[in-house]
């Protein structure tokens, strides 16, 4: 079982990776390049902070007991930061091939690093249900964190560029709704599957969750999923008017709910080793 520090640092990594997927969902040619520079810069700082925090854990773990999985995770995390920096640099130039390749490499190394990180949070054989559930749960959390972050930032951009068409905002909103509903359904499905088909350590974690941390789990569901779902309906109503300023304010509140819910989820991960 890993501590809260490892679980919490993972939060930064997921925000940055999910934010890149959210940027990919926006129409690049309909938004000013400055939006991608500013948003990409924010995501890069978050990614760098995550790597800075994780680097201390990498050094400590590798010094105590060298492990190839941990070493490979550290390498992919470093490459993720490197290719992310290349993408940010490419936004100041016109080399589209370099921009596309650096963005793609950043996505691929980010996914690889996330899947390797997931391996350290469960104790089960390689050919087990956990090998499928944990990486997918971490990936879906990344999409949710990234979509709500970019949704808030694109709403802020509309306060600057008042003449912008509403289509980019609607597209990122739809991406946010999908990124919110799919993890909600997957949470229920994975809980049932792990309860009936999970390894012994996973079943012990589920029992510990229900007997010792049920209040934390319920709070995480209400704040992290139900409240943002309600806010997503309100965001759609304000976009239908349209009123981008109100929609941006609601995205701020949704971001707060998602972030708090995911941080509670990291606490559950640290206490029970469950990806809920």
**In which region does residue 49 sit, left (phi positive, over 0), alpha (psi from -120 to 50) or beta (all else)?**
alpha
Q: Round the average pLDDT of the chain to a whole number and report it.
A: 86
Task: Give the whole-angstrom CA distance, residue 141 versus residue 182.
Answer: 10
Least-confidence region, from 17-26, 29-38, 196-205: 196-205
Reported as a pLDDT band with limits 50, 70 and 90, residue 156 is confident
H or E element in which residue 126 lies: none
Q: What is the pLDDT of residue 62?
A: 67
Task: Give the whole-angstrom CA distance, residue 21 versus residue 270.
Answer: 26
Q: Tens digits of per-residue pLDDT, 158-203? A: 887 777 788 888 999 999 999 999 988 988 888 888 878 777 777 8
Q: Tens digits of per-residue pLDDT, 204-231? A: 888 888 888 889 989 999 998 999 999 9
Task: Give the whole-angstrom CA distance, residue 6 versus residue 147.
Answer: 23
254 has pLDDT over 90 = yes
CA-to-CA dists, residue 248 to 153, 169, 234, 260, angstroms: 8, 10, 11, 18
Task: Give the whole-angstrom CA distance, residue 176 versus residue 179.
Answer: 5
Rg (the chain; Cα; Å): 19
Q: What is the pLDDT of residue 4?
A: 62
- The arithmetic mean of pLDDT across residues 79-98, rounded, is 91
Architecture of domain 4-272: Up-down Bundle (1.20)
Note the pTM of the prediction, 2 decimals: 0.91
- The arithmetic mean of pLDDT across residues 245-264, rounded, is 91
* Portion of the chain with pLDDT greater than 70, in percent: 94
Most confident of the ranges 30-39, 81-90, 92-101: 81-90
């Amino acid at each position: 079982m890993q501590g809260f520090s490892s679980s919490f640092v993972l939060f930064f990594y997921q925000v940055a990776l999910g934010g890149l997927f959210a940027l990919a969902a926006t129409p690049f040619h309909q938004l000013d390049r400055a939006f991608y520079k500013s948003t990409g810069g924010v995501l890069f700082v978050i990614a760098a902070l995550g790597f800075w925090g994780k680097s201390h854990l990498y050094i400590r773990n590798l010094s105590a007991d060298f492990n190839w999985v941990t070493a490979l995770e550290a390498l992919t995390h470093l490459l993720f930061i490197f290719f992310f920096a290349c993408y940010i640099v490419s936004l100041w130039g016109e080399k589209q091939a370099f921009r596309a390749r650096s963005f793609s490499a950043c996505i691929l190394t980010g996914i690889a690093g996330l899947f390797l990180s997931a391996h350290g949070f469960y104790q089960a054989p390689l050919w087990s249900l956990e090998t499928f559930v944990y990486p997918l749960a971490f990936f879906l959390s990344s999409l949710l964190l990234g979509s709500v972050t970019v949704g808030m930032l694109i709403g802020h951009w509309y306060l600057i560029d008042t003449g912008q068409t509403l289509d980019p905002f609607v597209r990122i909103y739809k991406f946010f709704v999908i990124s919110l509903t799919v993890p909600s359904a997957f949470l229920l499905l994975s809980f049932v599957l792990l309860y009936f088909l999970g390894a012994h350590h996973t079943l012990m974690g589920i029992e510990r969750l229900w007997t010792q941390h049920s209040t934390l789990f319920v709070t995480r569901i209400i704040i992290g999923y139900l409240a943002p779902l309600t806010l997503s309906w309100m965001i759609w109503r304000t976009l239908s008017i349209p009123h981008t300023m109100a929609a941006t304010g609601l995205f701020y509140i949704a971001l707060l709910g998602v972030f708090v819910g995911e941080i509670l989820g990291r606490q559950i991960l640290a206490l029970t080793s469950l990806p809920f």
